[in-house]
Amino acid sequence: MKRTAVLAAALLLSAPLSPAVGAEDTRYGLDAEFMHDTNATRGPGGADSQSDNVLGVEGSATRSLLLGPNSGAVFRGAARYSRFTDFSDISVLALGGRAAWRYQRDRAFGAPWFELGGEAQWLNHADSELRDGTVLSFTASVGRYLTDRVRLSGGLGLDKRSGDDTGLYDLTTNRLWASFDYRARVRDAFYARLTRVAGDHVFNAASGANIGLLSSVADLAIADPALGAGFIGYRIEATTWLYDVGYNLPLQKGHTLDFSLSYYSSETDNGGYKYDGAQLRATYLYRFQ
């Protein structure tokens, strides 16, 4: 796996961009997050569905460029470490970034914008070679302001993940999403997002009943000791629906708190076997130059 080449070619993560904004100095950010995941093992119920708390920290750098009177680009690179408190072997360091190009033909208020983006990540886990590898993503989206308080957007994406030689985490998925943002007062905002992810998924099980069910529809099954003795990972064609709601509260200049709740539900294309769970997040963000 040519991880070094992928990193060298990585373009950096997109942030909201107005074409009216010209080139700026590089902006830096620090994020600290606490997340509780009710099904960190992605198991289909019973003893196979186990929760965990995750502590995350991220550093980032962002730069935007004006490309013309109606278009611009933004580049963002980031390094993130996520620590699982119980399943510590799957704690992960992620390096990478994204670039996005945005076009807005009419700069009048309420005119739609269009965006194309590409992202690359390198993943290195504490003690889980199955999960080590890279992720490449490509997205296209459109959005517009309906009022000075309401913004709608939506898009589609393609993700390609490459894991180790076993192939368990060689995953190809496509995404469709729609989002809604409402500015409640001068700066704070509520948001909601609906996402559909279809393609390769990994389900995990250690109990006999679930092992028997998943084995009947899996494309590949590999032992996964990072989750505990007896756990097996199954690569399966499936569809996930993800529902997100959140609240963003700016504090003093450069400081922000964000709270969100996510619910996810995955079902195999064959057999109708499922897992679901929820994630509760609290995030502190600091932006500076």
pTM: 0.89
**How far apart are the C-alpha atoms of 107 and 109, rounded to whole Å?**
6
Is residue 158 included in any domain, yes or no? yes
For residue 257, the one-letter residue type is L
Is residue 172 included in any domain, yes or no? yes
**How far apart are the C-alpha atoms of 149 and 275, rounded to whole Å?**
36
Indicate the number of domains in the chain. Answer: 1
Query: How many residues can be counted in the chain?
Result: 289
The domain that contains 47 carries what CATH number?
Answer: 2.40.160.40
pLDDT score for 19: 39
Per-residue pLDDT tens digits of the chain, which is 289 residues long: 333 333 333 333 333 434 334 456 789 999 999 999 999 999 998 899 999 999 999 999 999 999 998 999 999 999 999 999 999 999 999 999 999 999 999 878 889 999 999 999 999 999 999 999 999 999 999 999 999 999 999 999 999 999 999 999 999 999 999 999 999 987 899 999 999 999 999 999 999 999 999 999 999 999 999 999 999 999 999 999 999 999 999 998 899 999 999 999 999 999 999 999 999 999 999 998 7
Kindly report the three-state secondary structure assignment for every residue of the chain: CCHHHHHHHCCCCCCCCCCCCCCCCCEEEEEEEEEEECCCCCCCCHHHCCCEEEEEEEEEEEEEEEEECCEEEEEEEEEEEEEECCCHHHCEEEEEEEEEEEECCCCCCCCCEEEEEEEEEEEEECCCCCCCEEEEEEEEEEEEECCCCEEEEEEEEEEEEECCCCCCCCEEEEEEEEEEEEECCCCCEEEEEEEEEEEEEEEEECCHHHHHHHHCCCCEEEECHHHCCCCEEEEEEEEEEEEEEEEEEECCCCEEEEEEEEEEEEEECCCCCEEEEEEEEEEEEEEEC
Angle at CA of residue 149, ends 143 and 153, nearest 5°: 15
**How far apart are the C-alpha atoms of 136 and 121, rounded to whole Å?**
7
Answer for the pair 242, 262: CB distance below 8 angstroms, yes or no. yes
Range of the domain at 208: 3-14+24-288
Is residue 19 included in any domain, yes or no? no
Is residue 70 included in any domain, yes or no? yes
Is residue 96 included in any domain, yes or no? yes
Pick from 180, 195, 90, 98: nearest CA to 138: 98
